[in-house]
Amino acid sequence: MLVLHGCVQTAGGDVINGSGDAGFNWKAMADRYGAVILAPNATGNVYGTHCWDWAATNRSRGYGHNAVLLDLVNRFLSNPQYAIDPKQVYVAGLSSGGAKAMVLACTAPEIFAGVGIGAGPAPGVGSGQISLVPSGFTATTAANNCRAMAGNAAASFSSQIASVIWGTGDYTVAQAYGPLDAAALRQVYGGTFTRGATASVPGSGSNVPYLDANGKLRTSEIAVSGLGHAWPAGSGGQNANFVNSTRVNYPAFLMDFWFTNNLRITQGQAPAPVMSACSASVSGATVTVSGAASFDNGTIASYRVRLDGPSPVDDAAAGTGGGFSKAYAGRADGTYSGSVTATGSNGQVSAPCSIAPFQVGSGTPPPPFTCTTSTATNYAHVLAGRAYVSAGFALAKGSNQNMGLYNIFITRTLAQTAEGYYVVGSCP
């Protein structure tokens, strides 16, 4: 995942801001999907405000920031330490970073399987034309510019997907560039498209999907109600310097959009185990953690136990097989929580099963958890973090219960019975 900041922003100050990631809010998504996030700084001082050179007329791979960024991606792809799948490389950005993301997707479509464009002007307009689409400039104009950048790599457009997002309160970059960018990419992708039903996005927004002739989701257009010129980070992101934490969690939407709709991998070709249960019991200073997982496509190679608290645990060899139970002695008094994951014989890791907060020894135990329910589409549950996607199905986070197909047509009620733990149905 290559993430590009906007003008007057920096990578360290706004995209990846500290260990808690108070910036664009990518850390949680990186952890959930096992992604490597690259957040570089724009070299030089392009346009006088630390921008990317998105408006440069030379769009060759060897020019300016194109060369710098493609070299960065290729260095990580070639490093076996990161084990990056070359079919799952994506680029996104805000403003000049969003425009540059589209330039890169057009210049090197064989590298980028997906693009996310946040309030980005279209390729072919100048740096003085960001607030208004020039007269006579259309999606076809942008599409022709995009094809010219791709050259001999244009065939790879047939398997690329794109998401665009903008705010209805953005008066810095013309809002019309959002749907124009998406329409231009549909033209370079080729074929016919069907507009899907408009769906609400958690965080005050609407999403318009477009499907190709094969029924594959190829572009998504999100208009965020009331959002100004900013990256929509959602809860957990910062709320300053062109980053907004009060609207859509775009990193969550974008990672799910790419992961679910990537056309360069066979969905389900690398299935993961499913945790069916996990729990912790306390006897004195000893905590015993139990868990069980299933895996239809192989065997469980190992379990990993993580306990957070005064005496933390990170045990990558807690057990094997269908289930395990392991004691951890000598835990200091205090409040703990944790999770269990299972690794299959194919190396794929399950979603974590959450262990609710518990008390070891004396002290004030954690307050009882108040159960709440949420009723929404499976699509909305996943975006809100209450569920995740596996092999095209939505599964409740924590309990891993199957909620049915991941789409906007199936509605489920989930009860949150513990921190990070959801079950299908109402509260007890």
What six digits make up the tokens of 20? 């808690």
Q: Which residues pair with 224 in a beta bridge?
A: 167, 205
Dist. CA 72–CA 89, nearest whole Å: 12
Residues across the chain: 428
Measured in whole angstroms, the distance separating CA 315 from the mean position of its chain's CA atoms is: 27
Active site residues: 95
Q: Which of 2, 15, 12 is nearest to 230 (CA)?
A: 15
